[in-house]
């Protein structure tokens, strides 16, 4: 019998060991499944959310970016999505696990003795209500903290971008004083935020702890009355100590979820912004650009353009001139539908551009801005923005036309040289020439030139004439220039002032009228700002192309 008992005991021991191993394997499989189904799904969804926000930002009009701070948008795309990742991957699962544990324990306790269970759990609604009442204060504190933090980030970014100016004018002390003030404000708001959160979370924790003395008192009274046994009383005391951990975790995670609405609302604000829409195809009859009584204002500001009408014809060069702030650059950007106008029509090839999808429309444009923006990539990749599938030979050809080839070949890796953020390793003239090469590579039928040679010296401006001539040949060209000699050879000149067309016509006609255009030409000549003998007018450029 002893052998049988020993043998049976050994079998039982091995059975329990095997059961423990099986349970461990099952727990591992379940944990792995939870990871694959929950965490992987959450992070994949978060990545898709970021991609969706980036796609939405890409489709928004420029007016949106003029209203919003770029660091704010970056924070929405990165920080808010990261916070949502952490909330949904950690706080929400932990909250569900805590609630499930509380539910199972509470059901067992109520089934065992509802009086002791009620004595234990009567404080839970009070703790939850306390956190819910604190939600609005937490939201306000978080929003205020966010705005102060954004101000700190903006000043850091501004300081780094303007370090040259700060040092040049010995402004380090002023900048540091202003930055210290922002940091102090941030510290103050951070402490206030933690104080608000800490007070309510700790208050809910104190309320929860009131359940333990209640169980002790009620249990002692029931024990004295003979309603419960000592075993049940001790079991409830032990259970009370165990149940407060998941309740405390649930309350902490509820406090974290208080910020969920703020994060989601900031991303939804971007998602809800209206995008520019239109037809994916357009039956354009040529590429004439016609402004018909166009009016435009930046949000609530006074109108920048008012009843502006002119036509830029295909095969001709139309120059927009006038004093600074007259609306020249705005008119050129409206021609490419960077903004939607408030009144009138802009037509390209007879089609209203408001009815054309912006991407479809911009395929017909090559634009050279005065303020050139380059990417932290190779020179070849920056030129290829004009045509993604361009071969190396095509890139080199347009680089030679834009007078880029010489300085590119002097670079350490030639066309593969990475030029830094916004082309910081290049001079202003070199950056401008890369921009012109980019436009040459695109070879679009409509060309917008905003002071395309503003950053070039006299020698390089003369050398680059051939490249610009190739760019504008047989195209619809709108140029913006402050130097009158640049536009004297244009086919049509539009003089803008105060947001309206003062006069327009061929250069000879305007010179004969003796109006605003003549006054501008004489003013620049009299003040030495222009040299009429310098061979850099648009007419010289185009005539050199024809003779070639």
Burial 529-544, CB ≥16 within 10 A → b, else e: ebeeeeebbbebbbee
Q: What is the pLDDT of residue 347?
A: 92
Pull the structure tokens for residue 456.
């070039």
Q: Starting at the edge strand that comes first in sequence, how are the strands of the sheet with 343-348 ordered? A: 305-312, 289-296, 343-348, 351-352
Burial 359-368, CB ≥16 within 10 A → b, else e: eebbebbbbb
End-to-end CA distance of the chain: 117
Compute the distance between CA of residue 35 and CA of residue 42 in angstroms, rounded to an integer.
10
Q: Give the bridge partners for 282, in sequence order.
A: none
Pull the structure tokens for residue 331.
């008119």
Compute the distance between CA of residue 200 and CA of residue 130 in angstroms, rounded to an integer.
7
Compute the distance between CA of residue 321 and CA of residue 301 in angstroms, rounded to an integer.
22
Which runs of consecutive H residues, i.e. helices, occur in 162-210? 163-168, 172-209
Map out the domains of the chain as residue ranges.
58-271
DSSP state of 90: I
Q: What is the pLDDT of residue 543?
A: 37
Q: Nearest 10 degrees: CA dihedral of 129, 133, 138, 143?
A: 130
Contact 541, 465 (CB under 8 A): yes
pTM > 0.85:
no
Pull the structure tokens for residue 196.
């608000």
Residue with the two structure tokens 């004595």: 119
Q: Which CATH architecture has domain 58-271?
A: Up-down Bundle (1.20)
Q: What is the pLDDT of residue 310?
A: 93
**Helix, strand, or coil here: 446?**
strand
- Residue of 52, 132, 57, 128 whose CA lies nearest to 84: 52
Compute the distance between CA of residue 168 and CA of residue 378 in angstroms, rounded to an integer.
30
Q: What is the pLDDT of residue 233?
A: 78
Chain-centroid distance, C-alpha 176: 28
Burial of 444 (0-12, 13-18, 19+ CB in 10 A): buried
Q: Output the 3-class SS for 463-502.
A: HCHHHHHHHHCCCEEEEECCCHHHCCCCCEEEEEECCEEE
pLDDT tens track for 25-69: 766 676 667 666 667 777 777 778 788 888 888 888 776 776 666
**Helix, strand, or coil here: 259?**
coil
Q: Give the bridge partners for 423, in sequence order.
A: none
Compute the distance between CA of residue 186 and CA of residue 173 in angstroms, rounded to an integer.
20
Pull the structure tokens for residue 102.
């509380």
Q: Starting at the edge strand that comes first in sequence, how are the strands of the sheet with 492-497 ordered? A: 365-368, 446-450, 476-480, 317-322, 492-497, 500-505
For 423, residues 6+ apart whose C-beta sits below 8 A from its C-beta are: 372, 374, 382, 430, 431, 434
Compute the distance between CA of residue 513 and CA of residue 534 in angstroms, rounded to an integer.
24
Low-confidence ranges of the chain (pLDDT < 50): 1-9, 532-548
Compute the distance between CA of residue 145 and CA of residue 140 in angstroms, rounded to an integer.
8
- Residue of 293, 112, 313, 120 whose CA lies nearest to 208: 120
């Amino acid at each position: 019998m002893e052998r049988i008992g020993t043998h049976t005991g050994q079998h039982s021991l091995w059975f329990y060991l095997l059961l423990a191993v099986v349970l461990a394997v099952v727990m591992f499989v379940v944990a792995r499944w939870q990871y694959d189904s929950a965490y992987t799904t959450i992070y994949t969804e978060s990545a898709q959310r970021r991609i969706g926000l980036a796609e939405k930002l890409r489709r928004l009009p420029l007016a949106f970016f003029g209203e919003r701070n770029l660091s704010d948008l970056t924070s929405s795309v990165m920080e808010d999505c990261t916070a949502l990742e952490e909330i949904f991957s950690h706080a929400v699962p932990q909250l569900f696990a805590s609630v499930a544990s509380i539910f199972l324990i509470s059901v067992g306790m109520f089934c065992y003795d509802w009086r002791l269970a009620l004595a234990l759990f009567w404080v839970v609604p009070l703790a939850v209500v306390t956190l819910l009442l604190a939600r609005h204060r937490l939201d306000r504190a978080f929003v205020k903290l966010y705005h102060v933090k954004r101000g700190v980030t903006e000043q850091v970014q501004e300081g780094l971008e303007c370090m040259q100016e700060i040092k040049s004018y010995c402004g380090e002390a002023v900048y540091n004083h202003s930055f210290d003030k922002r940091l102090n404000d941030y510290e103050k708001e951070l402490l206030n935020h933690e104080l608000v959160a800490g007070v309510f979370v700790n208050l809910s924790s104190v309320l929860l702890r009131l359940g333990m003395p209640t169980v002790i008192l009620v249990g002692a009274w029931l024990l004295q009355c003979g309603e419960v046994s000592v075993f049940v009383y001790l079991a409830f005391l032990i259970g009370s100590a165990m149940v407060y951990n998941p309740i405390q975790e649930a309350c902490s995670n509820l406090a974290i979820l208080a910020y969920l609405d703020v994060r989601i609302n900031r991303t939804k604000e971007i998602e809800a912004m209206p995008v520019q829409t239109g037809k994916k195809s357009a039956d354009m009859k040529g590429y004439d650009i016609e402004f018909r009584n166009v009016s435009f204002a930046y949000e609530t500001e006074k109108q920048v353009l008012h009843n502006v009408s002119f036509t830029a014809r295909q095969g001709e060069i139309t120059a927009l001139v006038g004093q600074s702030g007259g609306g020249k650059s705005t008119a050129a950007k409206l021609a490419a539908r960077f903004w939607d106008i408030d009144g009138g029509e802009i037509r390209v090839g007879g089609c209203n551009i408001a009815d054309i999808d912006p991407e479809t429309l911009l395929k017909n444009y090559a634009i050279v801005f005065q303020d050139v923006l380059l990417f932290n990539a190779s020179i070849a990749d920056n030129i290829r923005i004009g045509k993604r599938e361009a071969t190396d030979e095509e890139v080199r050809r347009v680089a030679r036309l834009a007078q880029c080839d010489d300085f590119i070949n002097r670079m350490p890796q030639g066309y593969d040289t990475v030029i830094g953020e916004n082309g910081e390793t290049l001079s202003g003239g070199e950056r401008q020439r890369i921009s012109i090469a980019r436009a040459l590579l695109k070879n679009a039928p409509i060309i917008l030139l905003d002071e395309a040679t503003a950053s070039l010296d006299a020698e390089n401006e003369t050398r680059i004439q051939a490249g610009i001539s190739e760019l504008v040949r047989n195209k619809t060209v709108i140029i913006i220039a402050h130097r009158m000699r640049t536009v004297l050879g244009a086919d049509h000149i539009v003089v803008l002032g105060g947001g309206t067309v003062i006069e327009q016509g061929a250069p000879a006609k305007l010179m004969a009228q003796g109006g605003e255009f003549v006054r501008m030409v004489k003013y620049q000549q009299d003040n030495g700002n222009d040299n009429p003998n310098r061979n850099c007018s648009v007419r010289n450029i185009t005539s050199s192309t024809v003779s070639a």
